[in-house]
Chains A and B, each alone.
Chain A
Amino acid sequence: MKYVVLIYGNPESRAAWAGMSDEQRAAGLAHYQQLNDDLDASGERVVSERLAYPELTKQVRAGEGGVLTTDGPFAEAKEFLAGFYLLDCESLERATEIAGRVPEASFGVVEVRPVMGLR
């Protein structure tokens, strides 16, 4: 079964990250690296990515007048997608167990969602 783990940031977690020393940040990223290595070894990680901050977002709307692209949302956005994992694992229980190892889970902003196909 495939599940997506959605990792959200918020102003508090962003401030916490900004306030960290280089060593603390390196430790945080090493945590993610370790999680990736473990999930690769078990064959449960299909892909995972860390996303740039919301200021670099482009919003796209397609309408009558063609495709319209605008900047945003901005940093004051309450919650923003900070990264994701696509897992292929045994069960929802296992997916939530993995999500619990994501460092952001201690800020309480990690979601697990089952994946559906298109057809």
Chain B
Amino acid sequence: MIPDLLRSLTPQVVTALVRRYGDFDACEDAVQEALLAASQQWPSAMPDNPKGWLITTASRRRIEQLRSETARQRREAAVALAEPPDPAPVAVDDTLTLLLLCCHPSLSRPSQVALTLRAVGGLTTAEIARAFLVPEATIGQRISRAKRSLRGERFVASGSPDRVLEVLYLIFTEGHTASSGDAVNRVELTTEAIRLTRQLRASLPEDGEVTGLLALMLLTDARRPARVSPSGELVPLASQDRSLWNREFIAEGTALITGALSSSPVGPYQLQAAIAAVHDEAASTETTDWAQILTLYDLLRVVAPGPMVTVNRVVALAQVAGPEAGLAELAAAASDPALAAHHRVDAVRAHLLELSGDVAGARQAYLAAAERTLSVPEQGYLRSRAAALAEA
């Protein structure tokens, strides 16, 4: 698969060029052009050394760019500001340095996402725009502005990888639950996020949170084949056909999280992965070890408290201690302004009211949740739950 090969080589080619020439902005553009040339030429003439071909072609492109008049003026301005190029050897493949640069704290979150997908993921601007359902020009501007703000940044690994994890997780969740728009799954983004997280883990094999994030993605994505019915409706965890789950991903994710938990300080991604692993190991909702899930949420509430952690913990609590206990806890949680108007609160309340036998209350809460969600498939699911209660 040529596109896969190109994407996997992208970070190595970008870092090789940046190490040689020092200017990330121009190098990244040149690599994009080399990738485009490769996707056109390789199907008929595959080079013996694909990475070498890309580095040579991109280097030529970069020199051509700088020969052109406008670029020369740009370069003169840039050279006046830029640090001298890093003297490190060209052979260094430093995906981590590249990821840290693309997720630089001075950039807005959407810019970090777009730049990471292009400079590290090897996606074209058009592919990124399609994945996020925005015009290509919007993504193009985001990327060029981000690169402009990075001018003069030295190409050295600095800072914590936490922000890289946040960006990769955001790319994954965007693909996993299209927060608004017309598809439950955008296969490309979950796949890209997993691929990029694998690359990050290759740079940081000992980091428990990096491993935890990769495990979380695998254990979540494992359920993708069962999340949507053949007619395109969203299927909740309790009703999913578990025989459709991706066993390979579950095995890999479980092994990763088991190893990380026994060898690293615990962190939020590891805890979320552990929760996903407990779900994935169970044959049904009834046989799920809810007590263990509740314990993990209690830990998560200490390590990384947040409104969604609070709501998800309520679901586990209700499974352990009954729907009334869950409803009492949920009423307390709903006083948080971040949750007051959130559809998840209504959806969980509906579910717990249904379990406790309050059909009318459950129906109302399902409809309230349906009116508040931005996800069309989720809206359909919540309405169908309300309709089923109306017929009962």
Contact = CB atoms under 8 A, between A and B. Distances in A.
A72 interface: no
B180 A43 contact: no
Nearest to A119: B182
B374 A43 contact: no
Nearest to B183: A119
A114 interface: yes
Nearest to A42: B145
Contacts of B141: 40-43
Given A1-B179, A114-B180, A117-B180, A90 B142 contact: no
Interface string A79-90: 000000000111
Contacts of B179: 1
Contacts of B108: 42, 89-90, 94
Given A43-B142, A116-B376, A118-B376, A2 B110 contact: no
Contact of A43 (B110, B133, B181): B110
A75 B142 CA distance: 40
Interface string B95-138: 00000000000001111001000000000000000001111001
Interface size, A (range): 10 to 19
Nearest to A91: B109
Contacts of B183: 119
B180 A46 contact: no
Interface centre among A42, A45, A89, A114 (most CB of B within 10 A): A42
A43 B145 contact: yes
Contacts of B226: none
A90 B142 CA distance: 12
Contacts of A29: none
Contact of B138 (A43, A116, A118): A43
Given A43-B138, A46-B135, A88-B132, A115 B114 contact: no
A2 B376 contact: no
Interface string A94-119: 10000000000000000000111111
A118 B374 CA distance: 10
A89 B140 CA distance: 14
B182 A118 contact: yes
B338 to A, nearest CB: 11
Contacts of A114: 180, 374
Nearest to A40: B141
B138 A90 contact: no
Interface in A29-74: 40-46
A46 B141 CA distance: 11
A2 B180 contact: yes
A116 B182 CA distance: 8
B47 to A, nearest CB: 35
B140 to A, nearest CB: 8
Nearest to A88: B134
Contacts of A44: 110, 138
Contacts of B134: 2, 46, 88
A92 to B, nearest CB: 11
B139 interface: yes
Interface centre among A1, A46, A114, A116 (most CB of B within 10 A): A116
Q: 6 nearest interchain CB pairs?
A: A43-B142, A119-B182, A117-B181, A43-B141, A117-B182, A90-B109
Interface of B: 108-111, 114, 132-135, 138-143, 145, 178-183, 374, 376
Interface of A: 1-2, 40-46, 88-90, 94, 114-119
Given A2-B134, A117-B376, A118-B376, 20 more contacts: A1-B179, A2-B180, A41-B145, A42-B141, A42-B142, A42-B145, A43-B114, A43-B141, A43-B145, A46-B135, A46-B138, A88-B110, A88-B132, A88-B134, A90-B108, A90-B109, A114-B180, A115-B374, A118-B182, A119-B182
23 contacts: A1-B180, A2-B133, A40-B141, A42-B111, A42-B141, A42-B145, A43-B138, A43-B141, A43-B142, A43-B145, A44-B138, A88-B134, A88-B138, A89-B110, A94-B108, A114-B374, A115-B180, A116-B374, A117-B133, A117-B181, A117-B182, A117-B376, A119-B182
